[in-house]
Amino acid sequence: MGALDLPSQAVCIETRHAKRLCLRHDDIELPSCIDSTRLQLQLSQPVQSPAVWHEDDNDGHFNHRPGENLTPRYKILRQMGEGTFGRVLECWDRDAQELVAIKVVRSAEKFREAARIEVNILRTLAENDIRGTGGCVQIKDWFDYRNHICIVCEKLGPSLFDLLQTNNYHPMSIDLVQEFGRQILNSVAFMHSLRLIHTDLKPENVLLAATEYQNTLNYEAPISNKIKLIDFGSAAYAGGDCFSVVSTRHYRAPEVILGFGWSFPCDIWSVGCILVELCSVFVSLTLFSRVLCTALCLELGCDNIM
C-alpha cells in the first residue's frame, strides 16, 4: 500500500451517525488496485452537507433554512411564498442544473390527500400538453419527504399581483391586458377541454414566465408577456360536488355565493374580474362583485358571503 499523492487538504468522511471524520490526504494509504487519479477527481467535488432535521411548526408547516438540502438533489435557496396548503421554496436542482419551485405541503393528512390529487391533475395537464401551449405550470417531479408531499415545478417569475404592486397599482395598458386576457382564456379553454375547473383564478395565481422587468414610459413592464396558471390545489373535475364554496371571495362568481351550484362559468367570471382589475383606475369589478353578491345574499338569506 502506498501513500495517496493528492494536494494537502482535508477529506471529510460522513459516518452513518452523521458525524464527520476529517483526515488529510497525506495520512491516507490506499491499496494499489484503487485508481488514485479517479479518486482525486471525486474528492475535488464539494461535499454535500447532510439534511438538517427541524421539527414542523405547530401548524404542520415544514421548517427550513436557506442553504439546507431538501433531499440530496435539491438545495433550498429561499422561501417564495406560504399559504394554507404549505410553503413554496425556490431550490437549486443539482441533477438538472436549474432553478425549480417546490411546493412543500403541510403534513396533516387532509393536505397530503389534496396534494396527491393536485399531482394527478398536474400530470394530466402535462400529458395533454405535448407542445407546451396549454399555459399551465409544468410539473417536473414529486416525492414524499419527512411526511411532506413535495411537488417540483418549473420556476416562473412574479405574479400579476406582484406586477400591480411594483407599479403602485397603476392600471396596465389596454394592449397588455388584452394579451394577458388572451393567454388566460387560452389556458382556461385548455383546462376545460379536459373537464377540469380551476376554481381559484386570481392575479396571484397567474405568473409571468420572465423574472425581469423593463422600464417603459415610467411603467415597470415584464420583458416577456408570456404567462402561466399555477396552483391547482383547488381544481376539480366537472360533475363532482358543485355546491361547495370555491374561489377567493373577490373573484367568486354569484352562483357560488348564492349556492346555486357551479361549473365552468365560475372560472370565466374570475377571469373577467382579473382583467378589469388590471386595467381599471376606478372601483374594480372585484369590489363590485363583492358588493352586489353581498346585497343579494342578505336579500335571500344566504350563508356564503365570506
Instruction: Return the active site residues.
Output: 200
Rounded CA separation 305/38 (Å): 68
Cα–Cα distance measured from residue 130 to residue 145, given in angstroms and rounded to the nearest whole number: 29
For residues 265 and 178, is the Cβ–Cβ distance under 8 A? no
Would you state the cell numbers that stand for residue 3, as one nine-digit string? 501513500
Residue 154, beta-bridge partner list: 100
Q: What count of other Cβ atoms lies within 10 Å of the Cβ of residue 306?
A: 9
Q: HEC string of 166-213?
A: HCCCCCCCHHHHHHHHHHHHHHHHHHHHCCEECCCCCHHHEEECCCCE
C-alpha span between 115 and 104 (Å, rounded): 9
C-alpha cell at 94: 443539482
Residue 81: which of 97, 99, 102 has the closest Cα?
102
DSSP helix/strand/coil, 227: strand
